[in-house]
Amino acid sequence: MFELLRREKLSMFWLIFHAGIGFASVSSKWVLIGWFYVLLLSLVVEVFTKRTEGQMALVYFLGYAMGVEVLARGIKATPFIPDQMGKYLGVAMFGFGLALGGPIKRLSLYGVGMLVLSLPALAIAPEYTRAQIVFNYFGPLALFLGVIFCSRQIMTFVDFRSLVRVIVYSIFALACFALFKAAEFEKIEYGLTANFETSGGKITNQVATLFGTGICLMLLMFITNQRLFRFKWMDLVVLGFLLVRGLLTFSRGGMGTVLLVVFAIIIFPKAKAAWQDREIQFRQLKAGPLVIALVFLLGSFYLINEYTNNFLLYRYQGKTQRSLQTGFDQSVDIDQVTSGRYTILMSDINMFIGNPAVGVGVGHSSVLRAEYGGPAGTAAHLEMTRLLAEHGIPGLILVIMIYIYPFAMVGSEPNNYRRLIMLVFIITALSATFHSAMRTMATPLLFAFAFINYVPTNFDWRGALVATQAQARQTVRRGLTPRRRVQGRPPVANP
């Protein structure tokens, strides 16, 4: 099944098919449930019949499941698709993938180190239930296992484009569901908070995060002059559709991710003396297309803002109800602007200061939050401060390893295309943790995908592996980082 999903020639069919899934999901959950289990069954068959290709099928399935997870929450498909499906899937499949092995046999000390650092806080928290462990620990655990698994995998540039296509399909189905669900309401009231009606339910940040992810991945294809679907106009239509739906969610986090990615691509220095291959040609951005893109972006924002009676602009300006009523608010309530996240952030920091050794324990911050100045029983919204509160000093090291060290690795990557892939995945993964912690599987999966070893399509890794495993290891630099780089002269593309 994944072989069919990957085919560019079938992209028109698959877009129509996923639009149908989005439409059907408005009235019935069984279409999505049935389709999900068809994919799961095909994955099992592929893993046990084609071991090497099966490991890549795990990656495709998990990438596709990001959209399924959020859509399933929107239509309440639990227990057939569990509400915390992403955490179960990430841990189970990355663990299973590690048991299968991979082309690269050495374990990532980076991933193993993060896993070890997370264990003390897991041991000290009292009275654990299964739900608490899954909700609070399985997200980070999936990230750690994902880094270890993906660091052992090899994916060609053409397979990476297929992975992007598969991810966008499920996000497109979610966007279509949000569109058709919004059509059920006679009138949508837009205000100064995220909009549930245009997001398909009370999952606004999660929906907007995936819309932003889809936009970033499609921009990556555009910058590298690659067509994602069969016809160029299809790329433009899907990109515009995701942009409009993302703005209408009124969720600043998801759309802010797009701006972060674009900004990082512009300011991040290119690799010095980088070898390049002929397969990927970066687009020469001329003034004309840039002006057209800017006009389209500003025009879309203007029209949607007019449609929402200026509330879209107010939302991104951080306006409050008081500032709208008085015209000017000299004492801006930062907690109201951040939707209550500032108070949660400060309570996490207070917990870290009060419990610096190993924190308060995984999942225990919500229990103690009222004692440290936060709203009682509220779960963490920022993964960075949650790590500090619940893990203490090991959490501080984890923050450095997750939020700082990956960008140093991007800076040391000698190939500009791989640097760009890493940037897009890392930024989209980490930006979601500033408003939704690790509530969805998007963060651990996208972060892990950044550490797959992407190689030119004509580089014969499989031939080397068939010859001898020792010969394959010689093509990989013996570093202690999760990124393994190809040694020797750059491959020459086929004429």
C-alpha dihedral over 19, 25, 28, 29, to 10 degrees?
120
Residue 71 CA from chain centroid, whole number: 15
H helix or E strand, kind and range, residue 156: strand 154-156
Helices (H), 125-272: 130-150, 157-182, 204-223, 232-248, 252-267
Which of 138-142, 183-187, 289-293 shows the highest mean pLDDT?
Answer: 138-142
Amino acid at 33: I
CA 260 vs CA 30, 238, 426: distances in Å: 37, 21, 11
**Considering the chain, what is the average pLDDT of its residues?**
77
Please compute, for residue 126, the number of CA atoms within 13 A of its CA located in the half-sphere on the CB side: 2
Structure tokens belonging to residue 374: 């936060």
- Would you state the pLDDT for residue 32? 92
Instruction: Kindly report, residue by residue over 254-297, the tens digit of the pLDDT.
Output: 677 788 888 887 777 676 555 566 777 777 666 666 677 677 77
- By the 10 Å C-beta count (0-12 exposed, 13-18 middle, 19+ buried), 416 is classed as middle
pLDDT score at 251: 67
Domain spans, the chain: 2-285+403-474
- Three-class SS state of 438: coil
pLDDT grade for 477, boundaries at 50, 70 and 90: very low
Q: Which of 33-42, 93-102, 365-374 has the highest mean pLDDT?
A: 33-42
CA max distance for the chain: 75
What's the gap between Cα 42 and its chain centre? 24
Side chain identity at 18, as an amino acid letter? H
**Which amino acid, residue 46?**
E
CA distance to 134, 150, 277, 295, per residue, from 446 (Å)? 19, 11, 25, 30
SS (H, E, C) 11-22: HHHHHHHHHHHH
* Residue in the block written with tokens 């300006």: 317
Q: Is the dihedral of CA 136, 141, 143, 144 positive or negative?
A: positive
Lowest mean pLDDT among 42-51, 322-331, 428-437: 322-331
- From residue 436, alpha-carbon distances to 251, 339, 352, 433, 457 in Å are 11, 12, 20, 5, 36
Cβ atoms < 10 Å from Cβ of 387: 30
The residue that leads in pLDDT, 186 or 444, is 444
- Check whether 239 has a pLDDT greater than 70: yes
Mean pLDDT of 455-479: 52
What's the number of CA atoms in the CB half-sphere (13 Å) around residue 58? 30
Measured distance CA(204)–CA(195) in Å, rounded: 7
Strand pairing partners for 486?
Answer: 476
Say if residue 135's pLDDT is above 50.
Answer: yes
Mean pLDDT confidence for 139-164: 90
Phi, psi at 196, each rounded to 5°: -70, -40
Q: What integer pLDDT is reported at residue 371 of this predicted model? A: 81
Token pair of 50 as six digits: 């084609």
* Residues ≥6 apart with Cβ < 8 Å to 209: 251, 253, 254, 257, 428, 432, 435, 436, 440, 442
When pLDDT is cut at 50, 70 and 90, the band that residue 126 belongs to is low
Burial of 71 from C-beta contacts in 10 A (0-12 / 13-18 / 19+): buried
The rounded distance, in Å, linking the Cα atoms of 315 and 204 is 14
* pLDDT value at residue 479: 43
Can you name the residues that pair with 154 across neighbouring β-strands?
453
- Cα torsion through 219, 221, 226, 230, rounded to 10: -90
